[in-house]
Homo-oligomer: A and B are copies of this chain.
Amino acid sequence: MSIDQHGVTQFRENGFFIQNDILAPADLQQLVEALDVFAKDPLPGHVKEKNSNVYRAFHGCHLYNQAYSDLVRRPEFLQIARELVNDDVYLHQLKVNLKQAFSGETWPWHQDYIYWRNEDKVPTNAIVSVMIFLDDITEFNGPLFFIPRSHKSGCIEPKIPEGAPAGWEGNVSASLTYQVSDELVTALVDKGGLFSAKGKKGTAVWFDGNIVHASPPNISPSQRRIAILTYNAVSNAPRDENLSERRPDFLNARDRSPLHELWYELGVTA
């Protein structure tokens, strides 16, 4: 299997790249069916929309479900993740953002790495995410907006809004703890424009921990579910271990051993 070098170049230049048709319908079905089970069985890391009974996100699905656990170790994901961070990788975090029909709320303009730096003490941005579309994503159901090339600004000192929830919940709510100011978003969009991450279910989008992004609410009748897998370089593991209560395992994985391709565990040689 060869790495998508054009994609890697785009990632370095723009802060993201897209791969179509990465997951087959049967794989997607397993991932989606697991969500129905999660919805009936509240688990740590399940988050609701503000003032609502509608689920916003399920964190740590790989801890509870084999299909998500297998997803993390897909060879094509691990190979790209290792290339992008130039090291062996482990899974720092996995979540499914649901953004449900008529209910899914805004994600304000923010970067991801600042949460891992400030909350988890991840020392550098040698950490990368891949977002997998579990539904078709259109201009109507709350697609993610990237500011291309904004990752080149590095980790930006954040705007901390009034009224952000305390504890880790503030890091995953519509009132995010660390946001990027309107002034800076304006300047970054002047330079880089905006890109809307749309596509068929089964699409994968790799993105840099420092790319500035946001997404509008989902006012449409179509769900917009995405799984986000965040791989960290093994050499970039958090330095501070005194975080267990504020950053549970489903946000900051305690197992930092290098991941192996699924086929190793199945006894298949590459």
- What is A's interface to B at a CB cutoff of 8 Å? 101-102, 106, 108-109, 138-140, 142, 145, 182, 185-186, 189-190, 194, 196, 214-217, 219-222
List B contacts of A215 (CB < 8 A): 219
Contact of A139 among B189, B196, B220, B222 (CB under 8 A): B196
Closest to A142 in B: B216
Closest to A194 in B: B140
Q: Roughly how many angstroms separate A58 CA and B263 CA in the complex, as a whole number?
A: 63
Q: Who on chain B is nearest to A214 by CB?
A: B219
Task: State how many angstroms separate the Cβ of A112 from the closest Cβ of chain B.
Answer: 17
- Copies of the chain in the assembly: 2
Specify which of B101, B185, B216, B220 is in contact with A221 (CB 8 Å cutoff): B185
Q: Are B140 and A196 closer than 8 Å at their CB atoms?
A: yes
Find chain B residues with CB under 8 A from A219 CB. Answer: 106, 108-109, 145, 214-216
Q: Please list 28 pairs of residues, one from A and one from B, whose beta carbons are closer than 8 Å in the complex, sorted by A's number.
A: A101-B182, A101-B186, A102-B182, A102-B185, A106-B217, A106-B219, A108-B219, A109-B219, A139-B139, A139-B196, A140-B145, A140-B194, A140-B196, A142-B216, A145-B219, A182-B221, A186-B221, A189-B220, A189-B221, A189-B222, A190-B221, A194-B220, A214-B219, A215-B219, A216-B216, A216-B217, A216-B219, A217-B217
- Cα distance, A189 to B215, chains bound together (Å): 22
Residue in B closest to A184 when the chains form the complex, CB atoms: B221
Q: A216–B214 Cα gap in the complex (Å)?
A: 14
